[in-house]
Amino acid sequence: MNPPPRATRAGATEPLPASPQARDASLDQLCINTIRTLAMDAVQQADAGHPGTAMALAPLAYVLWQRHLRYNPANPDWVGRDRFVLSAGHACMLLYAVLYTPGVEATTGPLGQGVGNAVGMALAEAHLASLFNRPGHTIVDHWTYFVASDGDLMEGVSHEECSLAGHLKLGKLIGIYDDNRITIDGKTDLTFSDDTARRFESYGWHVERVADGNDLEALDAALAAARRVTDRPSLVIVRTHIAYGSPHKQDTPEAHGAPLGAEEVKLTKQRLGWPSLEPFHVPDESLAHWRRARDRGARGETEWQQRYDAYRTAHPELAGELERRLAGRLPEAWDADLPAFAPTDAQATRAAAGKVLSALAAKLPEVIGGSADLATSTNVVFKNGGDVAAGSWSARNIHFGVREHGMGAIMNGLALHGGVRPVGSTFLIFSDYMRPPIRLAALSRLPVIYVFTHDSIGLGEDGPTHQPIEQLAGLRAIPNFVVIRPADATEVVEAWRAAIRHAGGPVALVLTRQKVPVIDRARYAPANGLRLGAYVLADAPGGTPAVILMASGSEVELVLGAHQQLAAAGIAARVVSMPCMEFFASQPREYREAVLPPSVPARLAVEAAAPQPWYRWVGDHGAVLGLERFGASAPYQRIYREVGLTVENVVKRARELLE
């Protein structure tokens, strides 16, 4: 009997390969044990790693890759492929073994992150399918699978992500929970007594159970059943045994995070009936059987390409737009209609950013996103974009709820999928909740955009619990991460332009709650200097300063005021706006020295935040006027006076440097 057909979003069916009853059971076992021995050998040779989970999940991987997953090893970037995310990243040898080729979809690592990545991928699939599929032309139609461990489900971020996935009824999402009941410190009964099935059912997920992770028939049936349920996500709970086959380390914590040991590897291979004790032995029969995936994948891609060619003929404009978005190309004149701001338009940079986003949204339909329940404060709202909800996946406003951590991981999944450009927002102080996915976005160079508002003590009466101090320094310390803190509305325009153009990693726009003046660009340098990271905003007569004043964000107003007072006193000062240290650091030395001449050691940096990042720019003879204390609850003008962030104090400190 053949298994049930594969359901698709359009309601069509695609027959699955023959059931495991028609296969040679010994060949199946040989292919499974190939994964187990490769995992043992790789970790043993590296003298580090996690062999046990890969050994436990080998049957699951075999069934998934051979009978369910649609992919083409010859083209791992094929748009029509199914996605697979290994959230249990410590089992990476499992993924490397089954791929035997490029094709890793996501860098996960910290537990729980891959779950959110998969949710983001499933949401991207639903969004693009709703926008681009047409009757008779189902082009965007793939499943997203993830594997999670006990640890993934202990991390709170998995609750955030899976709750939202259930709420949105992402029916093309299938999770596999590796219930091996082992963690590094021992058995999970020391820390974990959840009823996982009931928890996921309460989230609105369909749940399947497999009592024996070595039962290929049961694994196949559970995955097929999950694929028949398309009105909600599915979780397949699989009971496995870590380091399966090891005589002494099966079901023990020792097999989780360390090599089995040379003698135990030998004994395990003998117990599994393995034909060789040589490391990395792959039997010819196993290799040939696994590599049947090449022909199967090539056929699948060819069939999909034929459907896509018909789609392109029937809907050329839609096909062109989909191709543009998947390639990450910007349309012509995408930034032609951005707003302009006059010196009389004093406003919070968060307010200006919302206006710029509205203009961008009209030209860049791939930009979607929202906030962690703060859209009315962060102004990340797509007017007339609709609200993403179950059955309304084509909308643009994603309501992440009070889930900063989950939001970050889901944004990474959206970006990894492609075809969308995710924007997420919250208060700067709450960026702490989402540091793991921010760091992974930077590590993976994902083009996500964060809008962080309420950027300093300038938020006022919400007090020190909400006033960020160390957050800017912490974010600037992340490699491959761009932090832009614009001084006014005119720099906000350029900040958005730079963020959209930057495709090599994540970007944070850090914005004020309080109003700031709009700099008169007829009097001072144009704001497009932002693209260089730092630029001379106001200079000394003849371009020869005695002291350099530099700042970012709302504190640029202070150094401009100090510049005027120093000029009136006959002291030559230069003002440098430095909205983005990362951009500035990447400029040629000649430009950096033109802005900050080595011949001018008297330099003062001013920022309402921890001072550490500025010492690179002020040098040994300069100073930083920042904050090394928490804020206070009061109107922001008073707080600025209390901590010495005033024009008068800037002038005083500048004079002290000159003395």
The region that residue 112 occupies, defined by phi over 0 for left and psi between -120 and 50 for alpha, beta otherwise, is left
What would the DSSP string read from start to end of 494-526?
HHHHHHHH--SS-EEEE--SSEEPPP-TTTS--
Q: Count Cβ atoms within 10 A of the Cβ of residue 344 and give its class: 0-12 exposed, 13-18 middle, 19 or more buried.
A: exposed
If residue 450 lies in a helix (H) or strand (E), which one and from where to where?
strand 449-453
Q: Which two tokens stand for residue 642?
A: 């209390």
Amino acid at residue number 437 = P
d(CA 171, CA 422): 21
| Cβ count near 351 (within 10 Å) | 17
Question: Residue 450: CA atoms inside 13 Å, Cβ hemisphere, count?
Answer: 38
- Asked whether the beta carbons of 249 and 265 are under 8 A apart, the reply is no
Burial 302-336 (b: 16+ CB within 10 A, else e): eebeebbeebbeebeebbebbeebbeeeeeeebbe
Task: Tell me the CA end-to-end span of the chain in Å, nearest whole number.
Answer: 91
Under 8 Å between Cβ of 345 and 489: yes
What's the rounded Cα separation, in Å, for the pair 629 and 77?
A: 49
**Nearest CA to 463 among 639, 631, 609, 637?**
631
DSSP structural state of residue 23? S
Annotated active-site positions, please? Answer: 404
Pair 237, 150: CB distance under 8 Å: no
**Is the Cβ–Cβ distance between 165 and 146 less than 8 Å?**
no
Separation between Cα atoms, residue 63 and residue 61, nearest integer Å:
6
Go through 235-264 and write b for each residue having 16 or more CB atoms within 10 A of its CB, e for each that does not: bbbbbbbbbbbbeebbbebbbbbbbbbeeb
The answer to whether the beta carbons of residues 307 and 137 sit under 8 Å apart is yes
Q: Which tokens sit at 241?
A: 């045994």
CA distance 378 to 354: 8
At a CB cut-off of 8 Å and minimum separation 6, what does 267 contact? 246, 247, 248
| Cβ–Cβ under 8 Å, residues 577 and 591 | no
